[in-house]
Structure formats: structure tokens, C-alpha cells
Structure 1
Amino acid sequence: MQLFQAEKTELYAEVILPLAVGKTFTYSIPESLQPLVLPGKRVWVQFGKSKIYTGIIKNISTRKPDNVEVKPIFDIQDEKPVVNPEQLQLWDWMASYYCCFPGEVMSVALPSSLKPQSESVLCINPEFEGDFNLFNDREIMLLNVLQQKKNVEVQELKKIIGIKNISSAIRHLQESGAVYFREELTQAYQPKKEIIYRLHKDYQSVKALQLLFDELEKAPRQLDVILHFRMLLGKSSYVLHSELMANKQLSLNALTALVKKGILIKDYLDVDRVIFEKIKAETFELKDFQEEALNRIEELFTEKETVLLHGITSSGKTYIYIKLIEKYLKSGKQVLYLVPEISLTAQLIRKLYAYFGPVTGIYHSKYNPFERYETWQKVISGEYQLIVGVRSAVFLPFSHLGLIIIDEEHENTFKQQSPAPRYHARDTALMLSGIFKAKTLLGSATPSLESFFNARNNKFGYVKMDKRYSEVQPPDILLLDMKEASIRKQLKGHLSPVLHENIQKTVEQGDQAILFINRRGFAPFIQCQQCGWVVKCRHCDISLTYHKSSKKLRCHYCDYQQGIPSSCGFCGGNQLLMKGFGTEKIEDDIAILFPGSQTLRMDIDSTRNRKSFEKIIHAFEKGEASILIGTQMVTKGLDFEKVKLVGILNADQMLSYPDFRAEERSVQLMMQVSGRAGRRDDRGKVYIQTFNPNHPVFQYIISNDYDGFCLSQFQERNNFRYPPFYRLIQLTLKSKDLNLLIKGSEVYANRLKRFFGERLNGPVSPPVMKIRNEFIFNILLKLEKNPAFLQKAKKTILEETGKFNLDPDYRKIRCIIDVDPI
């Protein structure tokens, strides 16, 4: 009898690689791996001659691509997919909408620990028998390092020998056969281990344990360890090393002796890196106006996918969020709670964890790669049902998402500026919500004009709360004319006499004050009083800011630093003065003006690590400081019950910024920070220092008329073809060669004008026209909100940009596409 073997089916995987390339790649699936392949799983694949990347399987098919060499998948990394179909759908939409590549979306979406890749390491060739006298000093130096370390990455090699340009030396050594490159895989995720101890099985009976106690009478330190171990053990099978040795009276040597005797068994346990503090949940009841708002939101959710909750500061929006979260979690749905800043998560996560317990997770950029990996896996497993996070949390692998809450939805930090995709988390979350057929609640005291417009035009549902939770009146807002105070020489540092006097009263009464200045550092620039020369960055077209904490002048764009020059760089004069003020300067002034008061400063310099946010917020909550000085971080959703005064120190700086959104952002910031005052029992006071008290936006702020401000802006935006009436796409061109950039940007603009005509504005240089040694020109497209036209417009932009990038005359120019720029 003849047996016939079934014909083997050849399978091919369409794989996304984390690269800025315009397509996916096809790899063959070895027969041994075919039963394991699924879309969403990670695979090891080779790209190029030797580089190994982590790819994501997008599709599987039996069709082999024509006229293409197909490489095999090396291995599959996962038992189950780490990316689900809904995520892949979102990635496709983002690549299309934001005019970028699928690999760029993947690169931003996955934490680095989920996409390990090989690194090129330089190795010495042990079989090399050439003449070392043929090599120069730099090459000999490289060989000496390699003889000691065997293999090393190029970047590490540069640091060791202290020379940046070593490419020619490496190339010569390679050509001579003295060294070679090898690819090594970077370390993937490693679980955190903690030492534990178990009691050996021979000592677990009561009788055996009593005999052990008797035996250890002669070793009292070891007996103390065993007795404490038994007390901690309880019903568990092990005791953590950290718990055991928390008792400082116990001897580590005695513990080691017990392990050597085999009485205690030392082992390792995988533990979570992210652990939340357990606190008691605050009890609350919704006010009548909040109950009405909640009922209206739920009613609108039956007919609308998205609802805008427009609640003034201190109206208790968070309590409504909690009630909605509770409802969706009980129904078995997941909830995503987006916030614009990491600083908001400190207070918020404590409150939410107290209510909802261990189903609550957090996700943001201050987490290290392994912490983000663990959060990712807990979302996949379903252990986390409620995620609080910043914009990158939209990429998490939800499987049954029911509700998305976007708090402070107006904030521009929801927009990613670099790298691609330059997405807006609010708009991306709306698409994600649509994919899952979930609901989205936008919340803000000062909604973005786009969201307010959508609500007025019935695209979004709209619910307004204009009462405070504590029923305290909104703060009393007063304008302080700095021009008059300056002429009369009444200023106390950078404080008007009225603000100075009221801060003094606030502190003496045991209350707290917040001072808002949207500029960090000590002095924005240093200027020569003889010729007007200003100390500028070597790499950027911007003045250097003096930071007292480091005693350095620093560039806020490229982080270049230098000391204070002893003389003018132009005329040689020595009359150099610091001009302007930032958070550090105000901190100094306050220490002098109020010597008995404790102050805290919250800006990007004082909050470099994750825990620094929490420390500052916790200290101010506990009353360890009377005055909090900060940038826009202090405006966002923080709740301090003893704050009775808010001072806005330089309103004019925000209003004078050359951008069509300047007034919108200024009003939002000033109204938001004003809301920090008087949040519990007493009406607070807000003082706005300005040299232009007649500016029209101040009347909207004083009367708390945000609706009126939005309506006044609509007319102006429509007249000048700006959002929300038109769509914007900004095209940015960068090059180190200014003359080439001027010529190339004109060529690029002229090609686009054939399609866009008068819709195209530019090319023009921005206020800061050079950053990191690259000159910049912008082209702005103002486009009608017609979906078919927008799709055609994006296709034209991609085609023309592709042609321009391939033009050999302009290959030194980088083109960046930013859809819906902020």
C-alpha cells in the first residue's frame, strides 16, 4: 500500500518593523513555527545584512511576493499576542491620518522592553596576524581597549577613549581584518526578583519545630531569627527577606547560618515593580447639580459617542468620573482615564486606587521600560481594568474598552511634537473609542475651541456645571497695573505692593498661596548694558537662560550649557546684567520678602524624576510650605484645600506670544490657575499682574465668561481660516545649510502650490529659526474640512514630499509633516 504525504503549505507573514519605512515586510514562516504564528505576536527577523529586529505579525497568508527574496522568521517571542486586532486597526488609522509610516507608529506604541533588537558590537579578531606598526595612534588605542573588553558598542568605545570621530579608524581596522562587527541581542524584559525564605519540610511539624527550638538554645541569635520568621509566616509558605530583616535586632549572619544548615531554604520570587500605597477611600455624596450632570451624561451616551463635560474649576468633575468608572467596571468593561501631565497622576492615582483597588494601573513616561512592560502585560491579562495615564496610554492592549475619560482635554500636552506620529491623544482616543464602540467623556473647565465648537454644533453631547462642589463662590479676580507701580517704584522684587501685602496676610493667617510664572530658570537672558549684546546658544537661535541651581547658562532647546561670561562677547565691556525673571528668581525674592515662610518650586527642573512630583505635592498638601511657585504644572487639576491666594506674575508674556492660539491658551491657563484658590470654605483671591490691564481677554477672565470668550474667538478664527473652521497641516523643513534650505523650501512650496494654491502660506522662518544647528522654515496649509479633499491633500503631500526627498540636490533637507499642529 502506497502512502501519500500531504503537500506542505508555505506560509508567509506580513511583519511591521519599528522603522521609518513606508511599508511592511514579508517573511517566510518555517514549518516548525507555523502552528505558533498569530497576528499580534512578536517575532525575531533579520533586516539588512545582519541586523536583528523585533517585528509584529500583522497578517498571515499563503501568497509569496513576486520577485522578492524572502527571509525566514528566526523565532517567535510570545505564547500569546501582545498586540490585539483593535490596536493594529488603530495603528493603520494613525499612519494614514498623521501621514507617517506604520513602523513609526509601532516604535512609539510599544515600550522599548517589548521591542528588543540587536546592537552592533566591535570585536577584535583573535586570528589577525598582520603588522600592528601599520596602524596609527588612534587605531592602536582602539585595539588596546578591545583587547581588554573583547567586544564593545561604538558609542561606549567613543566614551572610553574620549574621541567622537572614530569611524575612519574603525573602517581601516575592518579593512585590515583586525576587527569585525557582530550583532548581539539587547537584554529583553527581566522580572524583578526578591529573596524569600521557606522552612525546610523536616521542621514543619510541631514536634520537629520544638526540637529545633531546643537545639537552637545554644545559638540565641539564630533562635531569634526563627521565632520572628514563624511570627511573620502566618498562613503563607514563605517570608520576604525585606520583611524579615526589617527587624533591626536580627542578625544577618545568623540568618545566613540557618540557610547553610538547611533549616531555612533561600529562594527567589518574582515581584511587582509598581506598588501603590494603600489608603482609605474618601467618602462623598454627589450634590444635586452633580447628580443632574451625571444623569444627563448617561442620557446623552444613549445617542452620542462623545460628551463634553464643561465644569468650572472645583465643580467636582472627578466625583462624576468616579461614579461613571464604577458603573463601567461593574459591567465588565475597561476604562481609560487620560490626564495631560504626570504631575496630575500623583493625587489622582491615590484617590482612584483607594476606591477601586488593585484593578487600577498607571502608565506614563517616567516609568522605566520594565515597569511599562509589566503594566502592558497586566492590561493583556485583565488584572488592570482601570488605567490612568498620559497620552501614550492610548496604545495599551485593551480588549473590552467601554469608557474613555479625557480630563483637562484642552491641554496641548496631549499632542506629541516629536517623533512621528505627531498624534493628538484626544483625537486618537476618539478613534480608539469608535473601534471598541465605547463612550468618551471630555472634561474641562476651559474646553478647547475645537471641542466647544463640536458641542455647539451637536457633534458632541454637552453638559455644563457652573457651581462649585463646596458651594463657595468663584475666586475674586483683580487686575494689578504694573506700569503704574513700576513708574512709582513701588515694586517689591517682581511683586506689586498689593500682591505683596496680600501674600503676607495669607501666610500670617496660616493659609497658602500659589504664584504662577510660566518661565523656568532664574533669568531668561543676560545682556550687555553698553552695546545690547545677548548671550545666545551656540547651536540654537535663542538666548541662554541662567539657572541659579546649577550656576550655568542653559539652552531650553538643546540643553547646551556654559558659565557666565566675564565680559561682553561683542564690545568687551563688563557691564553684563541679568534680565527678566523665572521661577528660581521668584523663589529667591520670596525667601527675602517673606523670610519666615517655607516655599516649594514646581517646574521641569525640580521634578526631573517620578517621585519628585509626589514629594512636592504631598509636602504642600501637608502644609509643610506656605507658598508654591510654579510653571503651568501648578494650573492642572491639583486640589489644595488651604490655598486662598493665587498670583499670576506675568500675564503679558503669554498674551504676546506670536501664535493664533495665544489668547486661547492664556485664558485657559489663567482661569485654570485661578481655580486653585478658595476650593473649600472661603472665597479665594486671584491677582493678575499686567502692564496692559485694558486687554480685552481680562474682562472674560474677571467675569468668568469662558463661553463669551469662545464666541468672540470663533468669528476671528473663521475670518482668518483657522481651526475649528479649517484644518491645518504644517510642513517643516530643516537643514544645517541655510542657503540650501532657502532654495529648497521655495522649490518644495512651488511644487505644492500647483495643487493647494492660496491655501498654502510660506515658507517662513519661525520665531526660533535655528535649533540644534539646523535652520528651520515652515509651510502652513489651511484646508477645508472636506474628508475627500483632505484625503487627496494628504496623498499629494506624501507624493511631493517623497519626490523632494529623492531629489539629490535637496537630500540634506529634512521634511516633517505635522497634521493638526498645536
Structure 2
Amino acid sequence: MLEFAETYNAGRKTLFVDVILPLAIAKNYTYRVPFELNDAVAIGKRVVVQFGKSKLYTAIIAGISEHAPEKYEAKYLMDVLDEQPVVTDVQLGFWQWMANYYLCNTGEVMNAALPSALKLASETKIVLNKDYEIDRSGLNDKEYLIVDALDIQPELTVSDIAKLLGQKTVMPILKIMFEKNLIMISETVNERYKPRKRTYIKLNPIYQHDQMRELFEILEKRAPKQADVVLAYLNLSRGGKKVSKPDLIEASGASSAVIKALVEKEIMIAEDVNVSRLFFEGDNDPELTAVLSDEQENVLASIREQFEQKDVVLLHGITSSGKTQLYIKLIEEMIASGRQVLYLLPEIALTTHIIERLRRYFGESIGVYHSRFNDQERVEVWQKVLDGSYKIVLGARSSVFLPFADLGLIVVDEEHETSYKQFDPAPRYNARDAAIYLSALYQGKVLLGSATPSIESYYNAQNGKFGFAELKTRYGGVEMPQIEVVNIAEELKKKTMQSHFTSVLMDDMKQAIERKEQIILFQNRRGYAPVMMCKTCAFTPKCINCDVSLTFHKSSGKMHCHYCGYKEDSPTTCPACGSAHLEYKGFGTEKVEDELTVLMPEARIMRMDLDTTRAKNAFQNIMNDLEEKRLDILVGTQMVAKGLDFADVTVIGIINADSLLKYPDFRANERSFQMLAQVSGRAGRRGKQGKVVIQTYDPSHRVIQQVIDNDYAALYKNEIDERKSFKYPPFYRLIQLDIKHKDPDMLYQQAEFLGTELRKHFGDRVIGPEYPLVSRIRNFYIKTIMLKFERDADSLNKAKDIIRAVLLQFQTTKLSKGSLVQPDVDPY
């Protein structure tokens, strides 16, 4: 038998594969391919490999050759998991660029790119899928053993399952079980995606044609508004179409209470239906088309023309100017040409109405991708993009990693948003910038859209690197909101302030509620009070893990750290001096909500911040309540600035604009303008002119004046002059190094060593090391080194090579023990 095997294999090639492991290692690792798997290996396929003494990983084949590694003996790879590659050549090139540009390793990019279900490792924890009814009679022996073991012990690692079955690799078995929906990865179970609920209304079937006339006669006499609702329903339901409650409210002009009365009388029936974001369940209208104004038509023609010469075009359109309609037109054209489209949004949960809007046009050809899906759903979207089933993908920043076959257009909506930047873990990439490079790999086009563009994008447009188009008026002729600035200091002197609300804002809110309109209040700080202080000795409770004061949350009765999540009971007496005189300084959204319930007891108030939207469907419930007019006032953080488009929101109150403006950051003015303009843009979007009340101690601040005048050009001119003088983007590129250690003395030595070594190469381009604003987080002390480089691409690449060499030199010294060094390219 041995002689036969040797004879059989004698003429076969010995192949080696370079693989990307999901680890932060500097190089790809090489494995030998068993002869029987020669025909199975291909670039982009997943393989099972052993790395280290005993750990197994799923790796991606990045290269195939007949050359053995020179420095070590190659181990055999253990199995090939895929019949077809799950990662494309273009993706592998994109991963390599991202690793080079953002000073990280390809394995870290792979970790960010692949859904968890595609990268099993020996320590990955497996659980049963509780949402799936398992038919045990259809399981084979090994599957039955695994399911049985998971019944006894709810969570097992891949290594545990390997021991259970008595074989080294079980990943192919687990892959099949994933595809059958039998098992899930433990880490995602608590983050299971919950589909949104939508209420559909239908007429009680007992009302046939003869009874309808009688019903109308009764309703017109006794309840004319209910008659309007029934008439609107009959119009909307023609052709057997489903009628949603929001559509019925909009078409009839009636309130939610009128529909509720019809349901209680059993004239109508209400059904709550789960509307999945993964699968399209509504009725798309193939005849539906975006109706453009003359201005929009001209801008669309300009964008098309500029795409002939430029790969990237910036669309600067004021809030509610109809940018989405232009996106839809360009998407339609790209789909007609047979290519795919990526529509990037800063935060998918905040823009669900855009999903619904696009699906009315494109139906099942649009897919949605973000971290709130479970593993099976994310893998399914991955496969549908790979095989071309999804022509359009709408997603958050991680969507840039999907395996597109032929990507023709990327739309980056709200391109200025900081949510496009990944801060932790590596790769610390900006999805907007990554999208521009990705599009170039496919020879596609990028449209950046914003009412308040980033200074860098606007600079690139002004200097001809990007194309530029502008929408200057609101769609439908709706006027921009009236903006009134109120001086808090003057109102305090006159004693006309009520809690944190000026007399102007209080009057506007009362009038809006009388008119049955809605209000949004913005305060960019969550919790009840940012600081608790002892009036006797000035003691302030601080986090035990971070150098920050704890924020009091009235809902939990505890002091919270917003950096590490630490909580402790709120003290009743001062822990330092024993005094009972404790007071709260400052205020957050929770306090605003609390005080409004006292000042306006008749108003229905809700709060929208990180604390109230932790549950997966909490955000959508708040949005449904706002849309169906079950609340009058929405109090929120920056969440309320993004993606809200409601007809009856006519008053916006910015409680304290100074918290945005007085921040030590070179982007403070830019971000303040963006936030204030975006929040203001939520007012009066459909037919009614809205009003914005900005409360501030500094009404003459130039940024506030620029927001009032809607003068982005003036902001740009001021900022660009300052940036040039002080060597900031867009004239210079920034690279930040965060050095972390649990021992502050060791940190000081490490940071000084790195600063000295970097200055040998870059001189005064190196700033620091310095302590950041928050110098300890999660028990790690932090020092920061900032490097500034001219915009020349070659010099930047050389600088990165030098930084890599310095970091490698540092890691080879004993001094580096216990340290974490995190490079961040384009950190802001």
C-alpha cells in the first residue's frame, strides 16, 4: 500500500500556500499542501491550519507556489473549507492597502472584514440556535453528538468539540451546521438582531360592498375623520396592496387616535408584522421614479458630466434639498448598466427610513449589512453580494469589506460624519477614504454627499481633485428654518430662565404643542449630571479605572463611567469629609427630560441617547412613536441630528451650544457648525417653516453667526486659513501614536524612548509625548505622540516605513515589556 502511495504521488507537485491568519502578526505564514488537496486549494478560499503548539485557525489563502519557506519547516494545512473562494482578488488587494496605509497587519484587517462565522478558531465558542426547531432525526451521528453535548453544556469551544468527536479538525462539520442554522457563535447571541415591527391596517372583511355605503353614511354623520380614514384606506389598498399605519395616517391626515377608535369598533383590524431588514417583504413599485426639480435636474446632469473626468464628486446640498433623490437616480442608472452599488451610511440604525425608501424603488435587489445582524444573516449577505444577487448594498462602515463582483458606484451619505472612523480595534480606518480607494480598484465612481462637508473634502473639491456640485434650495420650495439665538446670561439676569430653558424656547414649545406639532431638544451629553461635588471640600467621585469624573444617572441611581462602563452607588454623604452637602454640576439629557416633565406635565416626552437605545429595537420604537405622533417632545444627544425626517417636527431647541464650541480640538469649530446645522435641519422639512432656538452664553461667536446665515463658505475660509498657519489637515497629514502601560513610570520611559527615536528621523514634525485629555482608561495610562507630514504621498509612505522600523526596534528591547503602542493614521 505504501509503495502504491509513493508511486501515485511521485508525479504530483508539492504546493505551498501563504495564508492570512486572523492575528496581529507581521507576515503571512506558509503551509504545505497535502497531495490530496492540491486540486482544492485556490486563492481566496478558507483553510484550517495549526498555528503555535495546538491552536487551530481558519485562514485565507493569499498565494500559492512551489517554494518552501527558507527559515522554517512548513506544517501541512489540515483542510480546505470552501468549494469556491469566499474572498476575491480585489478584496485581498484592498486588505493589503489598508494594512499598509493604516499601519496595521493584514490579519487585523481580515478580523474586521470577515463575519465571525467565516473565521472559526479553536477558542471560538459555539451554542445552539434557540430560534431554530432542530429535527434530530435528520442529523448524522457527529451532528447528533454535538447537539446533545450542547443541550447538557450550553457553550462549547471548537477545541471541546474536537475532543468530543475524537478528531483534530471539526471546522468542516461546524461549517455545515452553521449553514443548516443549527448552531451560532456565542459572542453574537446577546447581540441578536431583532427585526423592526410595523403595524398594518386592513378593513374588517364583514364590510362588503353593500355594507360599505351604510358604514360611510353612519361615519360621515357621527365621525367624519373616521370616514376620511376608511376612504384613504380604500384608495391605498387598490390592487390588494398592504397599507401600513404611517402611510394611512399621512394619506388621511388623521391622528393615530382616530385609527385606534376604528380598531376598537372592529371596523378595522391592526396587525403588527415583523419587517426584516435582511429580506424585502413590502411591495416595491417598478413604475416609481424620483421626481426632480429643475435645480436637481441641472445638478444631476453636472454630476454625470463630471464623472466623465473625475472619479469622486462632492455633492454639497443644504438639509432637505433632496440629495437622496439624486442618489436614487444615479443608482438606477448604475444598476441598468449591470454594475453594483454601495450606499454607505454613518449609522445604519439611525436611518431606517432611507432603507424603506430605497426598497420602494429597488425591492429585493437591495441588501443591508451591519453589525446588528447575527452570523447566519451576515454570511448570507456576504454570499449574495459575492454571487451578484444583491445589486445594491446599504450599510455602515464595515460594508466596504464585502466581496463585490463589479462595484460601479459608492454613495457616501453624510460624508463628514465621525462615525465613518473606526477607533478601536485596528484597523483604525476611515470608511469614506477607504471607499475612495476601493472604488478605484473597481474603476468605479464615488459620490460624497453632505449639507456640511468635511473641510478636507471641500478643499479637494475646490482644488480640482474632486468634482463639485451644489444644491442651494430646499426641495419643494420649503423655507430654511428661522433661527433665533438666545443669550442665557441675559435671561439669568432677568430671571426669566425656567430650569435650563429660556423664556423664548418655553414659549415656542408651548405654542407648538397647542398646534399639535412636535419638538426636538438637543443636549450633547447623556446622563443626569456630569459631575457630583461636595460643597464643603470639593470632593468629586472619580472612576477607579479611568481619570474621569463619574456621571450620575437618575434612572439607575448610580454613578457611571462613560469610558469603561464602571458603576458605583451614588453617595448620600461625602466619602472624604462626611458632609451631606452634595450638589450636581452640569446637566445631561436625563435631567432635561426630568425637568420638562415638571414644567410641561401635559406633554408626552421621550429621551433618545445611548442609555435608552441599547436594546436592538428601542431606537425603532422611539422613531415609530415620533412618526405616529405618540410623543410631543424628543430629547436627545447627537443621535437626533442624524437621519430624522418627520413632517410635524417644527421646533428645535439647542439647550447649550457652548458645550460644542468650547472644546480643545482643531476641528471644534468645524464639528460645532456641522452639528448645529444638522440639528437645525431637522425642523420644518415638509411644507412648514420650522424654528430653531439656540441657547448660548456667547451669541456673538462666529460659528453661531455662520449657522444663522447658513454660510458654510465663511466657515471654510476661516478654518482653512487657521489650518494652513498651524500645519493641520488638509495641508498636513497626521499620524498619532498612543503608548499605553499600567505603570506610569514605565510609560514615561517608553514614551520618551519612542519620542527620541522618532525625532532623529523627523525633527520638529514630532509633537510630544504628552498626556491626552483623559490620561488613564481601563487602568492603562496613556501618552500620545503626534507626527505631522506634508501631503506628498511618497514622503508619507517613507515616513510610515520609518515608523514601522522604529516600532519594531522598540519591540525588540526589554523596555517595551507590558506596553501597547497603537498607531492611528488620520486620527480625527
Coarse TM-score class (shorter-chain normalised) = 0.7 to 0.9
Q: Find out whether 1:381 has 2:411 as its counterpart.
A: no
Give the structure 1 partner of residue 101 of structure 2: 97
Structure 2 residue aligned with 1:354, among 352, 360, 363? 360
Runs of 5+ unmatched residues, structure 2: 1-5, 126-148, 161-165, 183-274
Give the structure 2 partner of residue 578 of structure 1: 584
8 Å contact kept, 1:367–1:610: no
Give the structure 2 partner of residue 364 of structure 1: 370
Give the C-alpha shift of residue 67 in structure 1.
3.5
Q: Find out whether 1:519 has 2:507 as its counterpart.
A: no
Distance 2:31 2:426 in 1: 26
Q: Find out whether 1:808 has 2:808 as its counterpart.
A: no
Structure 1 residue aligned with 2:295, among 289, 292, 296? 289
Structure 2 residue aligned with 1:190, among 155, 158, 178? 178
Q: Find out whether 1:14 has 2:2 as its counterpart.
A: no
Q: Find out whether 1:36 has 2:40 as its counterpart.
A: yes
Give the structure 1 partner of residue 51 of structure 2: 47
Q: Find out whether 1:793 has 2:781 as its counterpart.
A: no
Q: Find out whether 1:701 has 2:707 as its counterpart.
A: yes
Check 1:743–1:565 CA distance in 2 against 1; reply closer, same or farther (3 A cut): same
8 Å contact kept, 1:118–1:183: no
Give the C-alpha shift of residue 305 in structure 1.
0.2
Give the C-alpha shift of residue 183 in structure 1.
8.8
TM-score by length of 2: 0.81
Q: Deviations along 1:309-331, whole A, 9 cap, x unmatched?
A: 00000000000001111111111
8 Å contact kept, 2:351–2:644: no
Q: Find out whether 1:640 has 2:646 as its counterpart.
A: yes
CA RMSD of aligned residues (A): 2.5
Q: Deviations along 1:709-767, whole A, 9 cap, x unmatched?
A: 11110000000000011000001111110111112211110110001101111111111
Structure 2 residue aligned with 1:446, among 449, 452, 466? 452
Give the C-alpha shift of residue 813 in structure 1.
1.8
Q: 1:431 is matched by which residue type in structure 2?
A: Y
8 Å contact kept, 1:120–1:182: no
Give the C-alpha shift of residue 78 in structure 1.
0.9
8 Å contact kept, 1:120–1:184: no
Q: 2:64 is matched by which residue type in structure 1?
A: I
Q: Find out whether 1:462 has 2:468 as its counterpart.
A: yes
Give the C-alpha shift of residue 4 in structure 1.
9.1
Moved more, 362-371 or 793-802: 362-371
SS state of the match for residue 681, structure 1? coil
Distance 2:168 2:83 in 1: 29
Distance 1:12 1:181 in 2: 24
Q: 2:418 is matched by which residue type in structure 1?
A: N
Distance 1:10 1:301 in 2: 48
SS state of the match for residue 38, structure 2? helix
Q: Find out whether 1:27 has 2:31 as its counterpart.
A: yes
Give the C-alpha shift of residue 345 in structure 1.
3.3
Note the 1:668-679 alignment, pairs <5 A. Answer: 668-679=674-685
Structure 1 residue aligned with 2:730, among 715, 724, 733? 724
Note the 1:367-446 alignment, pairs <5 A. Answer: 367-446=373-452
Moved more, 488-497 or 725-734: 488-497
Give the C-alpha shift of residue 273 in structure 1.
9.0
Distance 2:812 2:579 in 1: 50
SS state of the match for residue 610, structure 1? coil
Check 1:568–1:117 CA distance in 2 against 1; reply closer, same or farther (3 A cut): same
Give the C-alpha shift of residue 470 in structure 1.
2.1
Check 1:151–1:549 CA distance in 2 against 1; reply closer, same or farther (3 A cut): closer
Give the structure 1 partner of residue 557 of structure 2: 551
Identity, in percent, stands at 48
The alignment covers a number of residue pairs equal to 697
Distance 1:182 1:776 in 2: 42
Check 1:276–1:595 CA distance in 2 against 1; reply closer, same or farther (3 A cut): farther
Structure 1 residue aligned with 2:689, among 683, 691, 696? 683
SS state of the match for residue 470, structure 1? helix
Give the structure 2 partner of residue 629 of structure 1: 635
Check 1:310–1:732 CA distance in 2 against 1; reply closer, same or farther (3 A cut): same
Give the structure 2 partner of residue 125 of structure 1: none
Give the C-alpha shift of residue 284 in structure 1.
4.2
Distance 1:110 1:368 in 2: 13
Give the C-alpha shift of residue 806 in structure 1.
2.0
Give the C-alpha shift of residue 810 in structure 1.
2.7
Give the C-alpha shift of residue 283 in structure 1.
5.8
Check 1:518–1:150 CA distance in 2 against 1; reply closer, same or farther (3 A cut): closer
Q: Find out whether 1:58 has 2:46 as its counterpart.
A: no
Q: Deviations along 1:557-587, whole A, 9 cap, x unmatched?
A: 0000111012212222111122211111111
SS state of the match for residue 824, structure 2? strand
Q: 2:707 is matched by which residue type in structure 1?
A: I
Q: Deviations along 1:530-573, whole A, 9 cap, x unmatched?
A: 11111110100111112222222111100001110122122221
Give the C-alpha shift of residue 407 in structure 1.
0.2
8 Å contact kept, 1:277–1:350: no
Q: 1:274 is matched by which residue type in structure 2?
A: L
Give the structure 2 partner of residue 109 of structure 1: 113
Give the structure 2 partner of residue 259 of structure 1: none
Distance 2:637 2:619 in 1: 13
Runs of 5+ unmatched residues, structure 1: 122-145, 158-179, 195-270
Distance 2:623 2:169 in 1: 46
Q: Find out whether 1:745 has 2:733 as its counterpart.
A: no
SS state of the match for residue 119, structure 1? coil
Distance 1:457 1:272 in 2: 44
Moved more, 620-629 or 37-46: 620-629
Distance 1:592 1:462 in 2: 49
Distance 1:321 1:646 in 2: 27
SS state of the match for residue 556, structure 1? coil
Note the 1:66-465 alignment, pairs <5 A. Answer: 66-119=70-123, 187-188=174-175, 190-191=178-179, 274-279=278-283, 284-465=290-471
8 Å contact kept, 2:739–2:751: yes
8 Å contact kept, 1:480–1:688: yes
Distance 1:542 1:487 in 2: 33
Give the structure 2 partner of residue 230 of structure 1: none
SS state of the match for residue 342, structure 2? strand
Distance 2:616 2:479 in 1: 35
Q: 2:416 is matched by which residue type in structure 1?
A: H
Check 1:752–1:523 CA distance in 2 against 1; reply closer, same or farther (3 A cut): same
Structure 1 residue aligned with 2:603, among 597, 608, 612? 597
Distance 1:515 1:621 in 2: 16
Give the C-alpha shift of residue 450 in structure 1.
0.3
Give the C-alpha shift of residue 524 in structure 1.
1.0
